[in-house]
Amino acid sequence: MNLGTTIAQLRKSKKISQEDLASMCNITQAYLSLIENNKKDPHLTTLKSISDALEVPLPVVFFMSLETSDIRNEKLKDYEILKPSMDGMIDQIFLNDKLAHH
């Protein structure tokens, strides 16, 4: 799971600076930077605050953060079938710009 990179991509797609997002979430810019660089695992309440500020539901952020290595082998085929459709819906509903998805 790559939460930090996903948060950074979402933030950039919405043209929000690290400083502004950190302020919106009542965390420091340094802490947000550590999260975005996958050096800190934030508490669930912090993730919820970030997802709210980005206007993307937390389950969608989790889905976007998934990597194939996170999926059990017996579910991998289903995930690979669903992922392109889910990515398209996420782009259309929640994002201003297209993001590169894994």
Regarding predicted confidence, which is higher, 97 or 9?
9
Q: Is residue 67 part of a domain?
A: yes
Binned at pLDDT 50, 70 and 90, residue 98 comes out as: very low
Q: Are 54 and 11 in contact (CB under 8 A)?
A: yes
List pLDDT tens digits, range 69-94: 999 999 999 999 999 999 999 888 88
pTM of full prediction above 0.75: yes
Burial class (CB in 10 A: 0-12, 13-18, 19+), 98: exposed
Q: Is the pLDDT of residue 33 over 50?
A: yes
Looking up residue 38, the CATH number of its domain turns out to be 1.10.260.40
Mean pLDDT of the chain, nearest integer = 92
Q: Is the pLDDT of residue 17 over 50?
A: yes
Q: List Cβ neighbours of 23 (8 Å cut-off, separation of 6 or more).
A: none
Residue with tokens 């201003």: 96
Domains held by the chain: number: 1
